[in-house]
Chain A
Amino acid sequence: MSQKPSDLLFGDLWSYAPAPESPSHAKYDKRLSHYIDGKFEPGENFFPVLNPATEEVMTEAPTADAATVDRAVRAARVAYEKYWRPMPGKERAKYLYRIARMIQEKARELAILESMNGGKPIRESRDVDVPLAAAHFAYYAGWADKLKYAFPGVDPRPIGVAGQIIPWNFPLLMAAWKIAPALATGNTVVLKPAETTPLTCWKLAEIIQEADLPPGVVNIIHGMGQTGAAMVNHPDVDKIAFTGSTDVGKIIQRAIAGTKKRLTLELGGKGANIIFEDAAIDQAVEGIVNGIWFNQGHVCCAGSRLLVEESVVDQVVMKLTHRMQTLRVGDPLDKNTDIGAINSRAQLDKITELVQAGVDEGGTKHQPVCELPGKGFFFRPTFFTGVSQSSRVSQEEIFGPVLAVLTFRTAAEAIEKANNTPYGLSAGVWTEKGSKIFAMAGALKAGVVWGNTFNKFDPGSPFGGYKESGFGREGGRHGLLPYLDLGGC
């Protein structure tokens, strides 16, 4: 049974007028600075920072060379010994709560900056990124004075200086995920945001300075791959935390082998979103949308492979086609935009190339009919039918709004297909039968399994992957572990 979805017309009989959020709330310098030892210091070797929706240069950021990295690490070391390690947990907590409150107070400005610099819709930065970032600081503030109770029988100690490298898909949120647990546990931090998205981290440095955090406890430096490498290779860094691509994760792991450095990696994924015939189908379709088109698919845990029970695949494809027609692609600062800009030209090229590969391999490409803005890096939401487990679009992480639709006939087959990937970060299970959710969750090799939902995050919920998606967890009590010395455990 295959039906034409052309019967429903989602046109512009009643179209939404532009509803732009004003960029004037966002204040930033024409040149960004490093934040080291409690001060903003001018840097060198500036590189342009773009607004991906307009391709305009917003500002420029400095490149931290090995000497700058060294100064930042030394500031972190001094702060660790002098201020932070000796400080009682409940005093550390006060700083974290203060940072959480200040993020909330400046929420509007941060959301606008995040959307302008990163490309994601203002609705997402406003409703997801910024609130979750504040929540992470508040959550870990609560742990700062309760570490004795986190791991029974052990009085844990901090490790020292953490070097943290974060990606461009959730800049502020990833900074919160890294800084909050590190500080709560008594460690100090040198953090580098991604080169395309330094702005909200730079703004966070302003907040941290205004919060009067002792100098050197958090240092935020800018730069590209080489700056990250300098951090990874610095002999006085005790722990590296990296979120980014699997390839770079492997490079880092090789680099620290034989050193005393501890490591956590949160890498790529090719998450399986599994829909059974007894799912609430309309809601499952919403789950597909949230799984792969939320944040333009720039999500490590995206549900980029759809596994549908064959008996309902036609129905799901038809509903997905309808649903795609009401997705609004456009200006990230418009409050009605669902899908914003792709973060960079490089990423857009990669997505375009992989989608072309999907077509060349014989897949059928489905996209809505919609106009894209004249400039900027935009890509229509896409899904492929007529692809198989061995297609490139089903195997490689595209990191864009592109979904591969595959079928299965039994739960055992779904499990086998879902696990048949080097990645193991996330999965979703859609069924109205509770026992099936539990059975699937136990069998799926994914760090996060969502039941009848997708892309749901909470600071209390540990997040991380199996296999080539990395190791270590962020969030929850488990998120404390990477930053603690449990004394021989």
Chain B
Amino acid sequence: MLPSSSRYVPPNSPTIDEVSINERVDKLGTRSIKTTAKIQGLKLCIAMMDLTTLEGSDTPGKIETLCQKARLPITTRDDVPQVAAVCVYPPMVPIAKAALAGTKIKVAAVATYFPSGQATLSERLDEVRRTVEAGADEIDMVISRGDFLQGRYDKVHDEITRTVEACGDAHLKVILETGELQTLDKVRLASDIAMDAGAHFIKTSTGKVQPAATLPVTLVMLEAIRDYYQRTGRMVGMKPAGGIRDSKLALKYLVLVKETLGDAWLSPDWFRFGASALLNDVLMQLESQRTGRYQSDRYFSLS
């Protein structure tokens, strides 16, 4: 029970008209991205990718394969950027660090007992500290959805601020798990609380719950970031994760960013895709732009 002198006042978040959000998403979905815009957009998607593997069956060999793909997505051309980061479970961090040595690719790790977050606060903070010590550049944490849905916004806020501290120099992405929050009003409120608490990035989902990232949820979060930026002058990044499997969809996300937040957010410093299968689809699209033909997936190495 928090003493009343430090009672947290949750932000006065606006409510969201879901019908209008869906319409805006649909209308922005009609943007026609062709030729040079498509090529530039696709390359930006790669540069913004957090190449991810978060499976119980992950092994050092799996991580090394992923990191090799991250360093060299495609061998037949040299104008394709490296991905922004790889995203792995905490025990895999040292392996990823070693496999990516000498590159600018970041090692992001999920922590706070991802994906459920069902552990005591001290257990979660301890995992974060250990993971940062192991060399993680970025931490993706999960909020306590149970506390949030109970209305314990003070607790949610407090846990995030403590996690920011535990991260030290590492950047913190706060996963809202929007599929469990369910309404856009709640997504907006959770976004505002996370930003108030010092998040560097807000992230849609763990990818372990359906629905994961969606365009409407992303638009709501981008608008939250915009309002926060107007109010405080601090930029916060955004990461949709899970369910973004093809280039066409990824480009729609980029359109949302471009037309909501503008040029400053169109960079890996401020926008990431949490994805794995997306990379090869983007590469296939880039190759088809170059050659005029779609190749089968055998021509694109597995990660």
Contacts and interface: CB of A to CB of B under 8 A. Distances in A.
A9 B37 CA distance: 18
Shortest 8 CB-CB contacts between residues of A and residues of B = A283-B20, A19-B32, A280-B17, A13-B263, A283-B17, A335-B32, A17-B37, A10-B262
Given A7-B229, A16-B31, A336-B31, A286 B262 contact: no
B197 interface: no
A8 B226 contact: yes
Given A127-B30, A336-B32, A452 B37 contact: no
Given A336-B32, A453-B20, A8 B223 contact: no
B38 interface: yes
A309 to B, nearest CB: 14
Contact of B230 (A7, A287, A452): A7
B17 A452 contact: yes
Contact of A17 (B14, B38, B262): B38
A8 B24 CA distance: 20
Interface in B165-185: none
A123 B30 contact: yes
A11 B261 CA distance: 11
A101 to B, nearest CB: 24
Given A14-B41, A123-B30, A8 B261 contact: yes
A10 B263 contact: yes
Given A280-B14, A318-B230, A19 B34 contact: yes
Contacts, number: 81
Interface residues of B, number: 34
Contact of B20 (A12, A16, A286): A286
24 contacts: A3-B230, A8-B262, A9-B262, A10-B263, A11-B263, A13-B263, A14-B37, A14-B40, A14-B266, A15-B37, A17-B33, A17-B38, A18-B34, A127-B30, A280-B17, A280-B20, A281-B14, A282-B14, A282-B16, A286-B24, A318-B230, A326-B258, A432-B17, A453-B19
Given A14-B266, A280-B16, 15 more contacts: A3-B230, A10-B258, A11-B262, A11-B263, A12-B263, A14-B254, A16-B37, A17-B33, A17-B37, A287-B20, A335-B31, A336-B31, A336-B32, A432-B17, A452-B20
A452 B37 CA distance: 34
Interface string B254-267: 10001101111010
Chain B, interface SS category: helix
A326 to B, nearest CB: 5
B4 interface: no
Nearest to B23: A286
A430 to B, nearest CB: 8
Contacts of B264: 8-9
Contacts of A11: 262-263
B35 interface: yes
B36 interface: yes
A369 to B, nearest CB: 13
Contacts of B24: 283, 286
Contacts of A432: 15, 17
Interface string B29-53: 0111111111011001000000000
Chain A, interface SS category: loop
B99 interface: no
Contacts of B20: 280, 283, 286-287, 452-453
B74 interface: no
A76 to B, nearest CB: 40
B84 to A, nearest CB: 16
A17 B23 CA distance: 24
B263 A9 contact: yes
A234 to B, nearest CB: 44
Nearest to A5: B230
Interface of A: 3, 7-19, 123, 127, 280-284, 286-287, 318, 326, 335-336, 432, 452-453
A17 B34 contact: yes
Contacts of B23: 286
Nearest to A325: B262
Contact of B258 (A14, A282, A283, A452): A14
Nearest to A454: B20
Contacts of B44: 14
Nearest to B267: A13
Nearest to A4: B230
Contacts of B17: 280, 283-284, 432, 452
Contacts of B134: none
A475 B226 CA distance: 41
Given A123-B30, A287-B20, A335-B32, A13 B266 contact: yes
A283 B32 contact: no
A452 B261 contact: no
Contacts of B21: 283
B175 to A, nearest CB: 23
Contacts of B31: 16, 335-336
Nearest to A452: B17
Contacts of A8: 226, 229, 261-262, 264
B19 A452 contact: yes
A394 B199 CA distance: 45
A66 B195 CA distance: 71
- Of residues B20, B24, B30, B261, which shows the largest number of chain A Cβ atoms within 10 Å of its Cβ? B20
A10 B258 CA distance: 7
Contact of A326 (B19, B229, B230, B259): B259
Contacts of B230: 3, 7, 318
B253 to A, nearest CB: 12
Interface string B133-144: 000000000000
A14 B35 CA distance: 12
A11 B264 CA distance: 9
Contacts of B262: 8-11
A282 B18 CA distance: 11
A335 B261 CA distance: 22
B34 A283 contact: no
A452 B16 CA distance: 11
A8 B258 CA distance: 11
A14 to B, nearest CB: 6
A9 B260 CA distance: 10
